Chains A and B, each alone.
Chain A
Amino acid sequence: AQSVTQPDIHITVSEGASLELRCNYSYGATPYLFWYVQSPGQGLQLLLKYFSGDTLVQGIKGFEAEFKRSQSSFNLRKPSVHWSDAAEYFCAVGVGTGTASKLTFGTGTRLQVTL
């Protein structure tokens, strides 16, 4: 069965510093990969997604992620973090037939930003 691992439960970075959130997946076929952000008490906002093609994906709010098949990873990066980026970040893998995919989520990484 598919699974998603986010090894870091909690990360603290200083505002202006770079950020990398790790995500590893386990799935037998080519995955559809997603990163979502969730502010406290709020819904899930899609940051970016990978379906195929260029392995470096650009998203909203200055985020990007790189799909590395050999490492089964889809790490999220941002060159300079803003205080408003503090939130919970979820990586997810889509399983199934393209648009019919159900999502399996990781346990999330809570990002704290210090000023």
Chain B
Amino acid sequence: EPEVTQTPSHQVTQMGQEVILRCVPISNHLYFYWYRQILGQKVEFLVSFYNNEISEKSEIFDDQFSVERPDGSNFTLKIRSTKLEDSAMYFCASNSYGYTFGSGTRLTVV
């Protein structure tokens, strides 16, 4: 069964550093998403991406966040200057009549 692949599975970074979380969506899917889950809380929508541009973003997705699809396969989430409160599990998803999530990247900001 096709999978959404996320790397790394766990990343530790110092506050103020930039991080890039990587995702390889399912190849024939057209819509891509990032969600996050702070420990013990519910999963929250961050951003959706279609046709090489952001189609919707939440209020969480402020100027320190950006997304990119640099080539035909990768989909990245960049956090420019990490804060302690960015510590969370970040999930990538792709969608085409079926939503598939990756296994997540646990980001720890210290």
Contact = CB atoms under 8 A, between A and B. Distances in A.
B103 interface: yes
A96 B103 CA distance: 24
B100 interface: yes
A102 interface: yes
A46 interface: yes
Interface in B47-89: 48, 50, 55-56
A34 interface: yes
Given A43-B91, A90-B43, A105-B42, A99 B101 contact: no
Contact of B30 (A99, A101, A103): A99
Contacts of A96: 56
B97 A42 contact: no
**Size bin of chain B's contact surface:** 20 to 34
B93 to A, nearest CB: 8
Count chain B CB atoms within 10 A of each CB in A44, A98, A101 and give the residue with the most: A44
Interface residues of A, number: 25
Contacts of B50: 100
A44 B91 contact: yes
Contacts of B30: 99
Contacts of B100: 46
Interface of A: 34, 36, 41-46, 49, 51, 90, 92, 94, 96, 98-108
